[in-house]
Amino acid sequence: MRSIVDKVIAIDAMGGDNAPVEIVKGSVEAIGVFGDTKIMLVGPEKLLKSELSKYSFDKNKIEIVNATEVIGFDEAPTHAIRRKKDSSLVVGLKLVKEGRAGAFVSAGSTGAILTGGTFLIGRIQGIERPAIATLIPNLHGETLLIDSGANVDCKPEYLLQFAVMGSVYAENVLGVKNPRVGLVNIGSEKEKGNTLTFAAYELLEASGLNFSGNTEAKEIPLGAIDVAVCDAFVGNVILKYSEGFAKALLAMIKKELLSGLLSKIGALLSAGAFKRLKKNFDPSEVGGAAFLGLNGLVMKAHGSSDARAIKNAVKQCRLFIENDIVAKIEKELLKEK
Amino acid sequence: MRSIVDKVIAIDAMGGDNAPVEIVKGSVEAIGVFGDTKIMLVGPEKLLKSELSKYSFDKNKIEIVNATEVIGFDEAPTHAIRRKKDSSLVVGLKLVKEGRAGAFVSAGSTGAILTGGTFLIGRIQGIERPAIATLIPNLHGETLLIDSGANVDCKPEYLLQFAVMGSVYAENVLGVKNPRVGLVNIGSEKEKGNTLTFAAYELLEASGLNFSGNTEAKEIPLGAIDVAVCDAFVGNVILKYSEGFAKALLAMIKKELLSGLLSKIGALLSAGAFKRLKKNFDPSEVGGAAFLGLNGLVMKAHGSSDARAIKNAVKQCRLFIENDIVAKIEKELLKEK
């Protein structure tokens, strides 16, 4: 049963490159769009009051929760979480822990959010390592990439748990029936891979998941699977490589198109199509990557999040809460025991 | 000093999806372009004679070396190399080992070529593991990705050796002065990474190489480094992901361009630009990936190689031989001891 807390989303007003301006703006936009959502904006009270004074909005729907410190991108996570107890990140995570908010969104340092989330909110019982699940575009829609940022050195059991969590996400938030789970690997045959994937294959094959076997990385952008399972080193390489590759490819296209008169006219006529395409690769469209495995909902927004990204992260949180993802992960995990 | 053998390139006529037709055609084209090159075509004599009879060429420049067996893509490498002693792959590698050819080119199974190369030709003294070096396109040119296919489980020392070999390749074959070597990692700070990269960083920092430090995967397509060092699991993911991503992105562009009348006309006008762009991502353009660390030159051509790819692989071999890469790797390795 949904409680009143489920409608409350805490937001780190000081996290990310565009804080607090865009974060505050996005929060105001979110309460405009999602009528029953209330937002707790976490950060220095005076500063946030002044930012909020720029807008007219329903004052009952945004509450400022004072936090005087900020954790930067360059700070060592464990040290920062321990030392800065009055940071927007620590105060925000505690709102979830204490049951005052149903979710926490931050565009701050991934490492600090993960460390803070694990220390302050804790893990779902049975989860060995929380993981980050990020949606990446493919030819036909989206693929959920897990782990895309938390655990660079993994045991096979972690990968099985990532697969379980990713399946719950894909099925319940994305609405994919019986999601296809692929193990990212260097070949499709069972005997391919490194020590980690070899052992993980056995676990995934014996699981109750819809396991598609080993998946070569080239199959991911082509949309062959719904959930791509890997350690966070590989996941980060995929995420970052595609970011750079899309940028490079679009720059090459631009250069080629501007190199001749005919193609220059062609480029002008196709401008709308390219604009739509760029939107496909815009992280603001999704809003947030979820930290799965924590005993509460924590959403990481891209470091360069603008107001729209924050609004979309709130939307993601609502979907997670409505679909009871944390409880469902706990339940599915028991099945794999 | 160059010897007569350096002009002789052995080619596996039976390796790859388009063997023997395209391989034979590419060999004939190669001797037409590279005047002083001689080719030993390895495969079933009768079949190759019949293929060669389609063309008119200088008969002194192509010699058939009979080999009655073929190793397929689905065969376990070690088993196949041991059992099929009269395969085009084993016979071809022996031509290099015995000093009858200066290089061997095959579009066959990577695993079998690697295993065969290590068993039959052996490693350069001091090399712990041979690695595969592949050129991938970036915004400003090319990046050498090493290891892109041989060693999925690596020790830090292997990565240092990959870096040394990659630097020799980039400097001598690609003509890059003082090539920038990057360690593929999940962040640019020194303390980022997994157990492997953490230790490899220390070795690379202490080496005499032009080490650019940790390189996020997004920097590779943007052209930030000349040599990207990683284990073959990560390397394969990069190689394959970019293959699928380019395919998906171009399909998305096509779809977007065809979705409106204006952009449809635009697409027509820009067709030439896209054709040039596609060429950038065509593996046939480069021809071959080099197995570095073997005590002789072995070049892997893409499995789907056509005649042009084979011709370009021969061109690559010539560059390697002219620049004495095997000897230079051995020399550089001694410096890092």
Q: Rounded CA gap, A282 and A243, in Å?
A: 9
Alpha-carbon gap, residue A57 to A48, rounded angstroms: 14
Q: How many Å is the Cα radius of gyration of chain B?
A: 21
User: For position A248, what pLDDT does the model report?
Assistant: 87
**Residues of chain B found within 8 Å of residue A194, distances taken between Cβ atoms:** 152-153, 231, 233
Enumerate the residues of chain A whose CB falls inside 8 A of the CB of residue B156. Answer: none
Contact between chains at A252 and B280 (C-beta distance less than 8 A): yes
Name, in order, each residue with C-beta under 8 angstroms of B147's C-beta and a sequence gap of 6 or more: B131, B132, B133, B154, B158, B162, B229, B230, B231, B232, B235
Cβ separation of A273 and B257 shorter than 8 Å?
A: yes
CB contact (8 A) between residue B252 and residue A184: no
Chain A CB contacts of B262 below 8 Å? 269-270, 272
Query: Exposed e or buried b for every residue in A257-279, given b needs 16+ CB within 10 A?
Result: beebeebeebbebbeebbeebee
Report the first-to-last Cα separation within chain B, whole angstroms: 26
Predicted confidence at residue A54, as pLDDT, reads 97
Query: Residue A241 is nearest to which of B238, B251, B268, comparing CB atoms?
Result: B238
Instruction: Answer whether A230's CB lies under 8 Å from A238's CB.
Output: yes
| Least CB–CB distance from A252: residue in B193, B248, B277 | B277
| Tally of CA atoms within 13 A in the half-sphere of B301 that contains its CB | 38
The verdict on a CB contact (< 8 Å) between B263 and A269 is yes
DSSP letter for B294, please.
B
CA dist., res. A183 & res. A216, Å (int): 8
The per-residue pLDDT for B265 is: 73
Q: B35 and chain A: CB distance < 8 Å anywhere?
A: no
Residues of B within 8 A of A268 (CB-CB) are 266
Asked whether the beta carbons of residue B242 and residue A241 sit closer than 8 angstroms, the reply is yes
Structure tokens at A51: 């930012």
Q: Does A243 touch chain B (CB under 8 A)?
A: yes
Residues A210-259: tens digit of each pLDDT: 999 999 999 999 999 999 999 999 999 999 998 898 888 888 877 777 77
Which pLDDT score is estimated for B283? 55
| Residues in A 156-195 with any Cβ partner in B closer than 8 A | 184, 186, 193-195
Q: What pLDDT digit, counting tens, does each position of A271-281 carry?
A: 777 677 666 66
Residues of B in contact with A273 (CB under 8 A): 253, 256-257, 259-260, 263, 266
Q: What is the 3-state secondary structure (H, E, C) of chain A?
A: CCCHHHHEEEEECCCCCCCCHHHHHHHHHHHHHCCCCEEEEEECHHHHHHHHCCCCCCCCCEEEEECCECCCCCCCHHHHHHHCCCEHHHHHHHHHHCCCCCEEEECCCHHHHHHHHHHHHCECCCCCCCEEEEEEEECCEEEEEECCCCCCCCCHHHHHHHHHHHHHHHHHCCCCCCCCEEEEECCCCCCCCCHHHHHHHHHHHHCCCCEEEEEEHHHCCCCCCCEEECCHHHHHHHHHHHHHHHHHHHHHHHHHHCCCHHHHHHHHHCHHHHHHHHHHCCHHHHCEEEEECECCEEEEECCCCCHHHHHHHHHHHHHHHHCCHHHHHHHHHHHCC
Instruction: Note whether A222 contacts B244, CB cutoff 8 Å.
Output: yes
Beta bridge partners of A103: A9, A297
Is residue B284 helix, strand or coil?
helix
CB B294 within 8 A of CB B308: no
Assign A282 a pLDDT band (cuts: 50, 70, 90): low
- Residues in B closer than 8 angstroms to A195, CB to CB, are 153
With an 8 Å Cβ cutoff, are B280 and A153 in contact?
no
Q: How many angstroms separate the CA atoms of B140 and A286, rounded? A: 31
Search chain B and give the residue with CA nearest A270.
B263
pLDDT at B176: 96
ipTM: 0.88
Chain A and chain B share a number of CB contacts under 8 A equal to: 183
Residue whose tokens read 């009979």: B66
Per-residue tokens: B268: 């027509």
Which chain A residues touch B243 with a CB distance below 8 Å? 218
Residue in chain A closest to B249 (alpha carbons) equals: A139
Angstroms from B244 CA to nearest CA on chain A: 4
Share of chain A above pLDDT 70, in %: 93
Cβ B152–A194 below 8 Å, yes or no?
Answer: yes
* Cα–Cα distance, A222 to A143 (Å, whole number): 10
Best residue in B139, B143, B249 for a mutation probing chain A (most A CBs within 10 Å): B249
Inter-residue contact B131 to B151 (CB < 8 Å):
yes
Does the CB of B275 have a partner CB in chain A at under 8 Å?
A: no
Q: Which residues, in sequence order, are bridge partners of residue A6?
A: none
- Across the interface, of B232, B244, B274, the residue whose CB is closest to A217 is B244
Percentage above 90 pLDDT, chain A? 77
Please give the average pLDDT of every successive group of 10 residues along chain B, which has 337 residues: 77 96 97 94 98 96 97 92 97 97 95 95 94 92 94 96 97 95 93 93 96 96 96 95 86 78 70 70 68 95 92 93 92 83
When CB atoms are compared, the residue of B247, B272, B276 closest to A222 is: B247
* pLDDT score at A249: 82
Q: Is A73 on the interface with B (CB under 8 A)?
A: no
pLDDT band at A1 (very low <50, low <70, confident <90, very high): very low
Comparing CB atoms, the residue among B216, B251, B262 nearest residue A240 is B216
Whether A284 has a pLDDT exceeding 70, the answer reads no
User: Would you call A236 and B273 a contact, using CB atoms and an 8 Å cutoff?
Assistant: no
As a whole number, mean pLDDT of residues A261-283 equals 69
What is the tens place of the pLDDT at every residue in A98-120?
Answer: 999 999 999 999 999 999 999 99
Q: Which residues of A touch B260 (CB under 8 A)?
A: 272-273
Question: Which residues of chain A make contact with B273, given a CB cutoff of 8 A?
Answer: 253, 256-257, 259-260, 263, 266
Do A233 and B274 lie within an 8 Å CB cutoff? no
Average pLDDT taken over every residue of chain A: 91
Output the CA–CA distances (angstroms, integers) from residue A299 to A125, B300, B302, in the order listed.
19, 45, 42
> Distance from CA of residue B37 to its chain's centroid?
20
B141-146/B131-138 β-pairing: antiparallel
